[in-house]
Chains A and B, each alone.
Chain A
Amino acid sequence: MTDVLDPPVHLEHHDDGHEEHHGPTGILNWLTSTDHKVIGLSYTVTSVIMLVIGGLFAEIVRGQLASPNGNLVSLAQYNELFTMHGSVMIYLFAGPFAFGALANIIVPIQIGAPDMAFPRLNALSYWLYLGGSITMLSGFFTAGGAANFGWVGYAPLSNSLNSPGSGADLWIGGLLLTGFSAIFTGVNLAATIFYLRAPGMTMFRMPIFTWNMLVTAILILLAFPVLTAGLIMLYCDRHFGTHIYSVAGGGVPVLWQHIFWFWGHPEVYILALPFFGMVTEVIAVFSRKPVFGYKGMIFATLTIAALSLGVWAHHMFTTGVVLLPFFSIMSLLIAVPTGIKMFNWIGTMWRGQVWFSTSMLMALGFLFTFLIGGLTGIYLASPPLDFFTHDTYFVIAHFHSVVMALVFGAMAGLYYWGPKITGYLLNERIGKIQFWFLFIGTQVFTFPLYILGLQGMPRRMAVYPNDPQWKTLNDISTLGAVLIGVSTIFFVINVVVSWKKYPAGDNPWDAQTLEWFTTSPPPHHNFYRLPQIRSERPTWDHNHPDHLSLHHGEHDGVHQTEGSPQ
């Protein structure tokens, strides 16, 4: 075991803390930088702003639904608001936050790379994303208002006859730009992970987060070009007189749904896998144990990715034009690898030392909320059950459990990696207050919606029949949405209060992976020296050479003394 104690490899011969990089500073640095950490930070700030904007839309939507004949907004404005709420959250927050913000910053450091493989392409990705976001949101300032056909933009509602406004075109344009941004980031991540790993960092020594990002990148490359093509065809239908999605010219409206969901269901995992990766790291570190079933976890991720390419039509069971049993069994089977992950997470905590930091609480919030979202998803994989829950609030509740779980994952990631990125910790006390508001708010928000859906309330209703029970359930849900809003305010307060207050040090969590071996924040090209990489947690091996990972049946070796000084 002594070989792990080999002296670290020195990459450069100068003192720690002396930054050799002399680029521009301040705003010029932000505008011109190709450093993955600067770009990643821009992504982080932009996507969190998008989270707040999307959240504000949601609060207005919930405000409108507080009474059956709400008149907070008009019918037309309501359609714009839920469309842009979904669009902002899915296209402009969840994805860019996962692969633009955290993966961009963390993946190169986790594998010991100096930067992304294509730094300028990385910068282009960010500017396309920012441009796309502004383009999409600018629809609100046009005469016809923003896009109003739902975030799925079903044809023929989205054609020029039914949605003539330029808000719809800006939606398409914004989505094309962010789509290209995602594709370029996917290329960049895959190339970085395949070609820029440090010596010793074999594929099966990569942290789970990096693994998940690799699989995400591949899914992006498979799925996003399909959406891009679909959007261009939609644009042609709108402006160039083609009839790809319209019956009148011999086109097929359902084709849009096939194209959209062929992107849309892998997209669900493009969004989810990064957050799975984040909580995997967080749970391992705050249980002071290796990831349980590391290899099983990777195979589960690969299985989910493979299956996710064959389940798109479970969004289309009620169209009556898809082969039900095939898409049903494929969708049901996704529960298996997802279940493996769930049990692996529990196994990671088992017999560990579970430390309730804010980050860990957020990860536990993810586990519970995702469990609810996952279990209710199994119902929707069964066509007869989907027939009566499709397009009702049951579906809304299901995927909000899932995406709120991702928000927990995002927060876990921010509290965990924030100190590495900025060099400063966030306040734990305020963080825990934020967690409880978010956790209770999420459950209070979603549970009434499940019941509401089963009682037959369809989605996307600006007004609803005056049924006292529907009103009560809607009011409880609105209360939950308010609690979630309050939790966001606590997050903002936390950032302000903790601003450059609590220096983090290199490794405040006694974490395990390579990014915690370098300084916080890391120097320009990330590392002055690297440890020997002999497992998927080189920093842990370096700090705790007597506590290496064990296989089933193995016992800690003679070197180990329980509670030995570190």
Chain B
Amino acid sequence: MPGFGASAGVTESSKSAFHLWQGFSIAAVIIGGLTVVLMLYAVLRYRRKGDAIPPQHQYHLPLEVFYTVVPILVVFGLFAATLVVENKATANPKTNVVVNVNAFQWGWQFLYPGTNALVYGQTTASPVMEIPVNTNVHINLTSTDVIHGFYVRAFNFSRYALPGVVNQFTIRAQSTGMFFGQCTQLCGLYHSLMFFRVKVVSASEYAAWLATFNNPTGIANAAAALKTTNAELASGVASKTSYTKFGR
């Protein structure tokens, strides 16, 4: 089946979003094609041929009811499909791998709670968030200044990093590799350079990577980062936790 410009991506929910995309596209092509054909037929077949006045028909109730009811049915079909995929995309199954992602002007900080791992980088330094393959990875996303957008094309997913709100979602990458990510929400001067990458590796490689932080410098860095982040997030965050309930 053609992709209609989109691609399947590498996560479980990116694939279901892609299939939903294909379904919507087929509906759009059929409905749009039909409309264009009707439009062209009307325009060409009934183009002006003289000064005769055509019959002045104004109403055709059965026809009008038909093209009211059919779109309603189509819309509810699309909505049902949407609900199925949406529930997958926003589900948060239990997992042990957690990454706290803090966005700031103009870079990203990836903290791995319970470990000493910490990645930090600005603009074109393009920091790398490393995650294990075939594992549910829980992301706690927030911002320490303005609104940013966490977007990885290969995941077919984006979510705002909002100051004062911790947005939570789960990704499950199904193939390894390096994937490009970028801030999508205008955040000031260097918005167009606010890059990051996601590196999906095997479970053993992931464990080895985490272990590289277990040295005095790594431990000190992680402790300092945690302290700063907590201080930054403390400004009004606690009272806003209920705010995340709709997005889960």
Interface residues in chain A, defined as those with a beta carbon under 8 Å from any beta carbon in chain B: 75-76, 79, 149-150, 154, 156-157, 162, 247-254, 287-296, 318-325, 328-329, 332-333, 335-336, 339-340, 342-344, 346-347, 349-356, 364, 367-368, 371-372, 375-376, 378-379, 382-385, 387-388, 390-392, 450-451, 454-456, 458-465, 544, 547-552, 554-556, 562-563
User: In the bound complex, what is the Cα–Cα distance between A355 and B16 (angstroms)?
Assistant: 47
Contacts of B219 in A (CB 8 A): none
Instruction: Pick the contact of A247: B42, B180, B186, B237 (CB < 8 A).
Output: B237
User: In the bound complex, what is the Cα–Cα distance between A251 and B62 (angstroms)?
Assistant: 53
Q: Is the CB of B89 within 8 A of A384?
A: yes
User: In the bound complex, what is the Cα–Cα distance between A372 and B32 (angstroms)?
Assistant: 8
Name the residue of chain B whose CB is nearest to the CB of A247.
B164
Name the residue of chain A whose CB is nearest to the CB of B189.
A75
B113 within 8 A of A: no
B182 within 8 A of A: yes
Q: Is the CB of B35 within 8 A of A325?
A: no
Name the distance in Å between A6's Cβ and chain B's nearest Cβ: 20
B6-38: CB near A (< 8 Å → 1, else 0) gives 110000011011001100100110011001101
Q: Using a CB-CB cutoff of 8 Å, which residues 197-248 of chain B contact chain A?
A: 235-237, 239-240, 243-244, 246-247
Name the distance in Å between A390's Cβ and chain B's nearest Cβ: 6
User: In the bound complex, what is the Cα–Cα distance between A454 and B163 (angstroms)?
Assistant: 27
Q: Using a CB-CB cutoff of 8 Å, which residues 30-67 of chain B contact chain A?
A: 31-32, 35-36, 38-39, 42-43, 46-64, 67
Name the distance in Å between B198's Cβ and chain A's nearest Cβ: 13
Q: Using a CB-CB cutoff of 8 Å, which residues 140-160 of chain B contact chain A?
A: 145-147, 149, 151, 153, 155-160
Interface residues in chain B, defined as those with a beta carbon under 8 Å from any beta carbon in chain A: 5-7, 13-14, 16-17, 20-21, 24, 27-28, 31-32, 35-36, 38-39, 42-43, 46-64, 67-68, 71-72, 75, 78-79, 82-83, 85-86, 88-90, 145-147, 149, 151, 153, 155-160, 162-165, 167-169, 180, 182-193, 235-237, 239-240, 243-244, 246-247
3 nearest A-B residue pairs (beta carbon): A320-B247, A456-B153, A247-B164
Name the residue of chain B whose CB is nearest to the CB of A332.
B75
User: In the bound complex, what is the Cα–Cα distance between A287 and B52 (angstroms)?
Assistant: 11
Name the distance in Å between A280's Cβ and chain B's nearest Cβ: 13
**What are 12 A-B contacts with C-beta separation under 8 Å?**
A253-B164, A289-B58, A318-B159, A340-B71, A378-B28, A384-B89, A388-B151, A455-B153, A456-B153, A460-B192, A552-B59, A552-B62
Name the distance in Å between A553's Cβ and chain B's nearest Cβ: 9
Q: Is the CB of A461 within 8 A of B162?
A: no
Name the residue of chain B whose CB is nearest to the CB of A536.
B58
Name the distance in Å between B233's Cβ and chain A's nearest Cβ: 9
Q: Is the CB of A321 within 8 A of B165?
A: yes
Q: Is the CB of A321 within 8 A of B244?
A: yes
Name the distance in Å between B193's Cβ and chain A's nearest Cβ: 7
Q: Is the CB of B53 within 8 A of A544?
A: yes
Q: Is the CB of B57 within 8 A of A550?
A: yes
13 other A-B residue contacts (CB within 8 Å) besides A318-B158, A388-B14: A150-B186, A162-B146, A290-B56, A339-B71, A353-B49, A354-B42, A356-B47, A384-B17, A392-B184, A454-B5, A463-B193, A547-B56, A563-B53
User: In the bound complex, what is the Cα–Cα distance between A554 and B169 (angstroms)?
Assistant: 60
User: In the bound complex, what is the Cα–Cα distance between A251 and B49 (angstroms)?
Assistant: 66
Contacts of A382 in B (CB 8 A): 20, 24, 78, 82, 86
Contacts of A356 in B (CB 8 A): 47-48
Name the distance in Å between A377's Cβ and chain B's nearest Cβ: 10
Q: Is the CB of A247 within 8 A of B189?
A: no
Contacts of A454 in B (CB 8 A): 5-7
Name the residue of chain A whose CB is nearest to the CB of B181.
A456
Q: Is the CB of B180 within 8 A of A375?
A: no
Name the distance in Å between B119's Cβ and chain A's nearest Cβ: 20
User: In the bound complex, what is the Cα–Cα distance between A336 and B68 (angstroms)?
Assistant: 7
Contacts of A294 in B (CB 8 A): 58-59
Q: Is the CB of A250 within 8 A of B239?
A: yes
Q: In this complex, which of A79, A356, A388 has the most chain B Cβ atoms within 10 angstroms of its Cβ? A: A388
Q: Is the CB of A324 within 8 A of B235?
A: no
Contacts of A150 in B (CB 8 A): 186
User: In the bound complex, what is the Cα–Cα distance between A390 and B149 (angstroms)?
Assistant: 9
Q: Is the CB of B17 within 8 A of A387?
A: yes
Contacts of A460 in B (CB 8 A): 186, 191-192
Name the residue of chain B whose CB is nearest to the CB of A290.
B58
Contacts of A464 in B (CB 8 A): 192
Name the distance in Å between B189's Cβ and chain A's nearest Cβ: 5
Contacts of A339 in B (CB 8 A): 67, 71
Contacts of B187 in A (CB 8 A): 157
User: In the bound complex, what is the Cα–Cα distance between A336 and B149 (angstroms)?
Assistant: 32
Name the distance in Å between B118's Cβ and chain A's nearest Cβ: 24
Contacts of A351 in B (CB 8 A): 46, 54-55, 57
Instruction: Pick the contact of A342: B35, B61, B192 (CB < 8 A).
Output: B35
Q: Is the CB of A333 within 8 A of B75?
A: yes
Instruction: Pick the contact of A343: B67, B160, B191, B246 (CB < 8 A).
Output: B67
Contacts of A251 in B (CB 8 A): 236
Q: Is the CB of B246 within 8 A of A321?
A: yes
Instruction: Pick the contact of A355: B6, B48, B146 (CB < 8 A).
Output: B48
User: In the bound complex, what is the Cα–Cα distance between A138 and B79 (angstroms)?
Assistant: 46
Contacts of B13 in A (CB 8 A): 384
User: In the bound complex, what is the Cα–Cα distance between A538 and B62 (angstroms)?
Assistant: 27
Q: Is the CB of B75 within 8 A of A340?
A: no
Q: Is the CB of B153 within 8 A of A552?
A: no
Name the distance in Å between B177's Cβ and chain A's nearest Cβ: 15
Contacts of B71 in A (CB 8 A): 335-336, 339-340
Q: Is the CB of A371 within 8 A of B35?
A: yes
Q: Is the CB of A253 within 8 A of B186?
A: no
User: In the bound complex, what is the Cα–Cα distance between A238 and B160 (angstroms)?
Assistant: 23
Q: Is the CB of B60 within 8 A of A563?
A: no
Contacts of B149 in A (CB 8 A): 318, 390-391, 458
Q: Is the CB of A328 within 8 A of B56?
A: no
Instruction: Pick the contact of B183: A253, A329, A458, A462 (CB < 8 A).
Output: A458
Q: Is the CB of A319 within 8 A of B162?
A: yes
Contacts of B5 in A (CB 8 A): 450-451, 454-455
Contacts of B43 in A (CB 8 A): 349, 354, 364
User: In the bound complex, what is the Cα–Cα distance between A379 and B20 (angstroms)?
Assistant: 9
Contacts of A344 in B (CB 8 A): 64
Q: Is the CB of B192 within 8 A of A548?
A: no
Name the residue of chain A whose CB is nearest to the CB of B185.
A391
Q: Is the CB of B162 within 8 A of A254?
A: yes
User: In the bound complex, what is the Cα–Cα distance between A509 and B85 (angstroms)?
Assistant: 52
Name the residue of chain B whose CB is nearest to the CB of A552.
B60
Q: Is the CB of B158 within 8 A of A253?
A: no
Contacts of A149 in B (CB 8 A): 186
Name the residue of chain A whose CB is nearest to the CB of B195.
A465
Name the residue of chain B whose CB is nearest to the CB of A350.
B42
Instruction: Pick the contact of A548: B56, B146, B151 (CB < 8 A).
Output: B56
Name the residue of chain B whose CB is nearest to the CB of A76.
B189
User: In the bound complex, what is the Cα–Cα distance between A54 and B32 (angstroms)?
Assistant: 30
Q: Is the CB of A287 within 8 A of B46?
A: yes
Contacts of B64 in A (CB 8 A): 293, 296, 340, 344
User: In the bound complex, what is the Cα–Cα distance between A200 and B155 (angstroms)?
Assistant: 61
